[in-house]
Structure 1
């Protein structure tokens, strides 16, 4: 996505919806009108997934986390159009989750079509690497679920091994989500694109 020089100012002008300067660091519950269970998506893409989830489940608070300010603009536009009280966004590097969230305050994490970082030397950047799993375990309540979807077979296999070695418990492993698509599945923009190209979609649900 092309760089938009005005992106940061645009996001700041929507401070009611998106936190661009970590103003809610350590106090994310204050960002929402109601205190409810908190589900987060790390890497929002264009926002279809998290906006759809929030619309379906008004009794859950959803927070979308994205590092790219240009991408975040698209998510803000969708969220603003829907006027959902239970949806908020934060411009944040996933490496700093432990700084932003308190221990055990998150109830579920979604990882959708994360960058596969295919080169071995970049393995630590993958969002299912043990470094990130350690962060997730800290901010998640006990027995909470991490839900992961990808079309990338290599990343899927890496994630299975990484989660298994970390001692996580697999609640669900689906090797072809669209073969018999679960009713609760929400297709992301990338999911639609990759599926139309004949890629299988892999899905993992696991807990610590």
Structure 2
């Protein structure tokens, strides 16, 4: 089914010039220049409506955050949250995650968050999963020393797949939980999807994969 776009979303999104980086490829290898700060850079792939990343940015002013999202009407909601909070350590990219290697250079990031991505359940779609080894190879390249991937999902099969892929790509697995909201590793920072799934009594799966040097 074709996604129905909300009229005016594109124009309004593009108007937020202080929060939307329109030509991210120009900052490959120099994102610290964009932020005018020598800080760690954390990226969320598929930032959605932005509850997760704007909460992190508000709590951690010593870190710079970048949220990537392809759906403009959804990204607009995230940008509006950042504006409402007056955040200075965050920006957003309206682009395809498949182009991540054109946006970030080797060792440029400290952390990548992947939250509730599309599970692409059919076998012929497996390479589209954001935890597929082809993507993980790209993440390893742009993550710096001891950089890590934090992954959350409500899909058990995708989680098991992701654990295997992370291991195959030689990431060190940390803090694996099959029921996050009943785990000591739960930090309480949630996404909109997470709140919805948890309210329905669904389990949330989470792990961290640390790049080996």
TM bracket (short chain) = over 0.9
Please, which of 9, 12, 16 is the counterpart of residue 10 of structure 1? 12
Please, which of 144, 148, 153 is the counterpart of residue 145 of structure 1? 148
Please, which runs of 5 or more residues in structure 1 have no aligned partner? none
Residue 7 of structure 1 and its aligned partner are, at CA, apart by 2.2
SS at match of 2:24: coil
Give distance in 1, aligned partners of 2:20 and 2:104: 16
The answer as to whether partners of 1:24 and 1:30 remain within 8 angstroms in 2 is no
Q: Is the alpha carbon distance of 1:85 and 1:24 closer, same or farther for their aligned partners in structure 2, counting shifts above 3 Å?
A: farther
Give distance in 2, aligned partners of 1:182 and 1:52: 17
Please name the residue that 1:42 is paired with. Answer: 45
Is 2:28 the partner of 1:30? no
Give distance in 2, aligned partners of 1:185 and 1:42: 19
C-alpha RMSD over aligned residues: 1.5
SS at match of 2:180: coil
Q: Show the 5 A alignment for 1:53-202.
A: 53-182=56-185, 184-202=187-205
TM-score, normalised to structure 1, is 0.94
Q: Which moved more, 1:25-34 or 1:146-155?
A: 25-34
Give distance in 1, aligned partners of 2:25 and 2:106: 18
Residue 23 of structure 1 and its aligned partner are, at CA, apart by 6.0
TM-score, normalised to structure 2, is 0.92
Q: Alignment length, in residue pairs?
A: 208
- Where has structure 1 moved over 4 Å in runs of 4 or more? none
